[in-house]
Amino acid sequence: MVKTLQKNPAWKGRKGPVVLVIMDGVGYGKYKEGDAVADSKMPHLDAVRNKSPNCKLKAHGKAVGLPSDSDMGNSEVGHNAMGCGRVFEQGAALVNSAIQTGSMFQGKAWKEIVENISRGGAEARGEGTLHFIGLFSDGNVHSHVTNHLEPMIAEAKKEGVKRVRVHILLDGRDVPPQSALDVLEPFENFLAGLNDANFDAKIASGGGRMYITMDRYEANWEQVKRGWETHVHGEGRKFKTAKEAIETYRKETPGLIDQDMHEFVICDDAGKPVGTIEDGDSVVYFNFRGDRALEMSRAFETPEGEFKAFDRGRFPKVCYAGMMEYDGDTHIPKRYLVEPPAIDCTMGEYLVATGLRTLAISETQKFGHVTYFFNGNRSGKFDEKLENYVEIKSDVVPFEQRPWMKCADIADYVIEAIGSGMYDHIRLNFPNGDMVGHTGVYQAVCCSMEGMDIQIGRIQQAVDKAGGVMLITADHGNSDDMYEHKKDGSVDYTSDGTPKAKTSHSLNPVPCIIYDPQYQGEYDNKALVSEIDEAGAIKSLGISSIAATLIDLMGYVPPEDYNRSVLKQN
């Protein structure tokens, strides 16, 4: 149980709410070329920053619980850090540890997966097949082929599994946009080195992550249905190899980003799919991040007659496991290989315990981030009376075609909420910088930034009128780094002379801007803390400091174990 927050006696109070504006995917770029944030006309954000104390915060690597500072941040861990006020070891690091120590393979879930195969299956001489489905990437945001998938396949062979099939979801989002073959060819060599008379491992199907399987927040169940038909039934365009599929699609559509590639099914010489999913098989979804794994997990686990999202057709009886528990409240999936981080005492819990009223709002694409992830991977509310969660339905169109997304709709609701006097804290997420940034379409990203900026100006006016406070930040960078760069910092160009688009997140810091129009001298309004002396070493603060900063601005004393606020108290 969390305790009630203690009032800060030095705080003189504000009339309006404390508003947290999360500009998803908006950082400070390292390079001038390709920084769509700096290249966009954003007069409202510039005006707020110029009149307010501000600093830069880390939003990647160890600052958000990832294994190393070469790991880009992501929305999941970023919102965890902001909402929980501390840094927890996150997905990739947890899986790395479970594999390196062998605890994954000693766990109940892994043993059930392997034992199920030995009990039956329609193929492989009476034994079932072990299937792996997941993001085929070394981006380390949802999965890692070399560090996670390959060790599991090797262990499966060691434990007597005879048949493995892999269903690959191409990335081009957390990694360069056309890098699939860079991962595929070493992986095919890895499988060839394992295969022998007693072990048969092959790629069975695949497609781009934004075309099949990896939808999130129920935005597009048709995407999941396409994945189900591809992986389970072997339905879709047929090829002899994954390499042939990728090269064919690229030839047909020059410039095609891996994430958007249509489905492919690998078939033998007779045209039969090499890896449909059958009764008696086992299936592992090897993504460790939960948002884009929940829907396919539900498709595999929901009993016949209860699943309404789409017609699954033949529903195989399999032993299914996720890499992690993707939702701790609904317990999806029921079986998982690695325990999630135990996150407790989130900011939301403290606010509820103190009787403070909260609004959390975004459109579908980021609704789960300001609720589920912000609350420490917890679904639902801490208190129905004190919390209001609002989802604005996202458009189901390519983001580059509607780059402003739903930012105006979000702002409309927030402006009314600020003026209502009903809330002590409001948090919102503008997804534009991240979702449009992932498309690699530079002009669309600039449009998305400028559309968002208009809404920031509108919210600022509402904060002025209500006498509130606005904290503007981001969960990670993306739109600030839209071109691929060489080691010397120069832009990397395609053969036709255009810059190579970068669709992944960046390693850049993000803004922290405190707009406080009723400032009364409680803290230094000329400068925020951007570095602290910790154990003799200078370390930049990360976005985990946002929670303590918000609590400061609401007039309370942050919990002692929270990472410190960016405010310099007077």
User: How many residues are recorded in the chain?
Assistant: 570
Sign of the dihedral defined by the CA atoms of residues 215, 219, 220, 224, in that order: positive
**What is the spatial distance between Cα 75 and Cα 89, in angstroms, rounded to a whole number?**
15
CA nearest to 369, candidates 220, 217, 503: 217
Half-sphere exposure of 559 (CA within 13 A, CB side): 24
**Are 432 and 405 contacting, i.e. CB atoms less than 8 angstroms apart?**
yes
**What is the spatial distance between Cα 481 and Cα 147, in angstroms, rounded to a whole number?**
26
Active site residue ranges: 75
Neighbours of 222 (CB within 10 A): 12
CA nearest to 231, candidates 283, 189, 280: 283
Characterise 550 by phi-psi region: left (phi > 0), alpha (psi -120 to 50), beta (else): alpha
Packing angle, helices 545-553 and 75-84, rounded to 10: 40
User: Position 166: which residue type?
Assistant: V
**Cβ-proximal residues to 540 (8 Å cutoff; 6+ apart), any chain:** 56, 57, 58, 63, 509, 530, 531
**What is the spatial distance between Cα 309 and Cα 5, in angstroms, rounded to a whole number?**
42
Strands (E), 235-289: 238-239, 264-266, 282-285
User: φ, ψ for residue 429 (rounded to 5)?
Assistant: -125, 125
**What is the spatial distance between Cα 426 and Cα 450, in angstroms, rounded to a whole number?**
22
CA 114: distance to chain centroid?
29
**What is the spatial distance between Cα 374 and Cα 361, in angstroms, rounded to a whole number?**
12
**Are 91 and 135 contacting, i.e. CB atoms less than 8 angstroms apart?**
no
Give burial (CB, 10 Å; 0-12/13-18/19+) of 453.
Answer: buried
**What is the spatial distance between Cα 450 and Cα 435, in angstroms, rounded to a whole number?**
15
| Strand, helix or coil for residue 208 | strand
Helix residue ranges, H only, 232-363: 242-252, 294-301, 347-353
Whole-Å CA distances, 557 to 4, 471, 564: 10, 17, 11
CA nearest to 454, candidates 410, 506, 520: 410
Helix residue ranges, H only, 340-466: 347-353, 364-368, 407-420, 432-435, 442-466
**Residue for token pair 């098989």:** 281
**Residue for token pair 């709410």:** 17
**What is the spatial distance between Cα 222 and Cα 231, in angstroms, rounded to a whole number?**
14
CA nearest to 139, candidates 78, 180, 185, 89: 180
